[in-house]
Chains A and B, each alone.
Chain A
Amino acid sequence: MSEAKRYGLQAQPDSGNSFLPDFCNARTVFLLVLSAELFAFLLVLANGPPFYWDQLGTLSLMVQLITLCSALLLCKLRPWLAGFTPLRAGLLSYVMVLLVTLLFSVLISMLDYWMRSGIVLSVPSLAVIGRDMTISAIVSAALLRLLYLQHQQRQHIETNAEARVQALLARMHPHFLFNSLNSIAALLRKQPDKAESALEDLSDLLRVSLNDNRSMRSLQQEIQLAKHYLDIEALRLGDRLKVDWSWSDQIDMNMALPALSLQPLLENAVYHGIEGLEHGGLIKVRGEWQDANLKLTVENPLPVQASASRHRGNQMAIANIRERLQLVYGKDASLNMRLDQGVCHIELLIPQADRPT
């Protein structure tokens, strides 16, 4: 399964700005023919009783000719119409359908007259043409309006879905970014070496964060990135930040996981935990293998007076990572947080079986 599909994002067929469907599409044409036939049936039905089959025949012929010719025109002129604003394109299509109607209305009434009286060239009745044009004007206006609304709704749904995905993408916390830049500014003069390596770490983080992080990375890379992140935070926090890593030998360091699965957990531990503690604390990161799952645990102490609003922020960050994991793994991955005596425990389970490639 491709990554895009896993995230529920399929490449949209290029529909341009136009709200008109693709009239060259077989399915669209079929639906159009079907609706046209139903419409003809409706007209004859409304005219009766009794029900005249021959009337249905003529009417069907006319309605289908108008429909198919309009569809053909709209299909061929689609690239040209795409150059206009939706309103103009809509109006042009409307005029086109009306012209097609006029053409066939004249032709068919002449044909009808010829079949009945044998006179080939006749002047068609204005009343008949007027009737045909009015019906066509009303029906095609309603149809265009419907297509337009449908298009709007679809666009609305698409924007919402895209916004949702964008909101979920892990992004660098501005608080972290500006604090890091401040540290680097402080180091530049006296410790240029440290400033340089901090800039390199920050660049790596920025690169992954700015990339479309719907990509997969190896566990090895994720750990490396998390370490870069902690190196930067260590500049600011000094001795207050202590980290203890432990990895089980069973873990396949090449297993793939969504980009930025680990670093945000550590950022969370620093932002909501260590930063608020006067003497800092120890973050414990553990990786184990449990029933074909990678189990990552992150533990960090919390400030005593962790306010309600701070706690909410903490849960939001976790919920964001959880949703991103669900987009990739469905119910197979889990992320749980519990607070226990001033310590925040986070447990992340990622399945390795059926791993995305």
Chain B
Amino acid sequence: MMKILIVDDEPLARERLRDLLGQIDDVEICGEASNGREALQACETKEPDVVLMDIRMPVMDGLEAARHLARCEQPPAVIFVTAYDQHALSAFEAHAAGYLVKPIRQSRLQEALHHLPRLNRAQLVSVQEQASSHAARSHLCVRQGGRLQLVPVDEVLYFLAEQKYVTACLRDGEVLLEDSLKALEQEFEDSFVRIHRNALIALSQLAGIDKHKSGQVVVLLKDSDRQLEVSRRHVPDLRKLLRQG
């Protein structure tokens, strides 16, 4: 029996998939989700073999959810479903990945379930880049005590590299990440700025800069009392950002 998770934000689209899957033998619908975030949570508990994943969804889109899923030890196969997305489709073609276009045909669905596509993480990143010209995640996916935790990137105040790990600091607490600070800087260049060899801060958090008596420049954050050190070569950039508001 093949366990299938249906992910789409539109109830009617989910209903149609249910109808179609109902006519196929040896499949079982183990759950439904209405966005990428819910899909990740459902995958934790339901452990599906296959995820039928819509691309355009609120909160977290299908491409990003697939990217997070690919980090699992035994990731489910993901079949993307989309009404029309020229860029994403050409990216799938390039990687010979399976996808379905709406309205879905029964025969195509059956065929896709027989030849399950498996894209690795790097391929998914490349698809995402081609599809939306940038591949910044909306959420950070971390595992704490064996539990999956999703942290929206816009809740991160700053990233700090300490010894081996990178920490994402939030208003309430912090999480450890596997990513390098350099990779994070590249991915979130639109919303974060480097202030030190070991720190990136959210642009929306930038409140001002201050100079200590020792000559050390520190940055003031909107939602945290912590004062982070700014290295000398990043001071001019920060001043410019502050002037721009």
Which chain A residues have a beta carbon within 8 Å of chain B's beta carbons?
174-175, 177-179, 181-187, 189, 235-238, 275-278, 303-305, 307-309
Q: Which of B58, B59, B83 contacts A182 (CB 8 A)?
A: B83
Which 8 residue pairs spanning A and B have beta carbons closest together?
A: A186-B16, A182-B102, A178-B83, A185-B103, A174-B84, A179-B83, A182-B103, A186-B12
Q: Which residues of B contact A179 (CB under 8 A)?
A: 10, 13, 83-84, 102
Q: Which of B10, B34, B59, B101 has the most CB of A within 10 A?
A: B10
- Contact, CB under 8 Å: B12 / A183: yes
21 residue pairs A–B, Cβ–Cβ below 8 Å = A175-B83, A177-B84, A178-B83, A178-B101, A178-B103, A179-B10, A179-B84, A181-B103, A182-B12, A182-B16, A186-B15, A189-B19, A235-B12, A236-B12, A275-B56, A275-B58, A276-B58, A277-B58, A304-B154, A307-B136, A308-B190
B208 contacts partner chain A, Cβ-Cβ < 8 Å: no
Q: Which residues of A contact B16 (CB under 8 A)?
A: 182, 185-186
Which chain B residues have a beta carbon within 8 Å of chain A's beta carbons?
9-13, 15-16, 19, 34-35, 56, 58-59, 83-85, 101-104, 132-134, 136, 138, 152-154, 190
CB contact under 8 A between A278 and B58, given known A175-B83, A179-B83, A237-B10: yes
- Contact, CB under 8 Å: B58 / A175: no
Bound together, the chains give a CA A187 to CA B10 distance in angstroms of 13
Residue of A nearest to B34 (CB): A278
Bound together, the chains give a CA A189 to CA B84 distance in angstroms of 24
Q: Which residues of A contact B84 (CB under 8 A)?
A: 174-175, 177-179
Q: Which residues of A contact B35 (CB under 8 A)?
A: 278
Bound together, the chains give a CA A308 to CA B13 distance in angstroms of 28
- Contact, CB under 8 Å: A309 / B85: no
Q: Which of B11, B101, B138 has the most CB of A within 10 A?
A: B11
CB contact under 8 A between A309 and B12, given known A182-B83, A277-B58: no
- Contact, CB under 8 Å: A307 / B101: no
Bound together, the chains give a CA A62 to CA B132 distance in angstroms of 70
Residue of B nearest to A304 (CB): B154
Other 17 A-B pairs with CB < 8 A, given A181-B102, A183-B12, A305-B153: A174-B84, A178-B102, A179-B84, A182-B104, A183-B10, A186-B12, A186-B13, A236-B12, A236-B13, A238-B10, A278-B35, A305-B138, A307-B134, A307-B136, A308-B134, A309-B133, A309-B134
Residue of A nearest to B190 (CB): A308
Bound together, the chains give a CA A79 to CA B19 distance in angstroms of 64
- Contact, CB under 8 Å: A238 / B103: no
Bound together, the chains give a CA A275 to CA B54 distance in angstroms of 13
Residue of B nearest to A310 (CB): B132
Q: Which residues of B contact A235 (CB under 8 A)?
A: 12
Q: A111: shortest Cβ distance to chain B, in Å?
A: 73
- Contact, CB under 8 Å: A186 / B133: no
Residue of A nearest to B132 (CB): A309
Bound together, the chains give a CA A236 to CA B19 distance in angstroms of 16
- Contact, CB under 8 Å: B59 / A278: yes
Q: Which residues of B contact A276 (CB under 8 A)?
A: 58
Q: Which of B15, B58, B83, B153 contacts A303 (CB 8 A)?
A: B58
Q: Which residues of A contact B12 (CB under 8 A)?
A: 182-183, 186-187, 235-236
Residue of A nearest to B59 (CB): A278
Q: Which residues of B contact A186 (CB under 8 A)?
A: 12-13, 15-16, 19
Bound together, the chains give a CA A65 to CA B150 distance in angstroms of 90
Q: Which residues of B contact A236 (CB under 8 A)?
A: 10, 12-13
Q: Which residues of B contact A178 (CB under 8 A)?
A: 83-84, 101-103
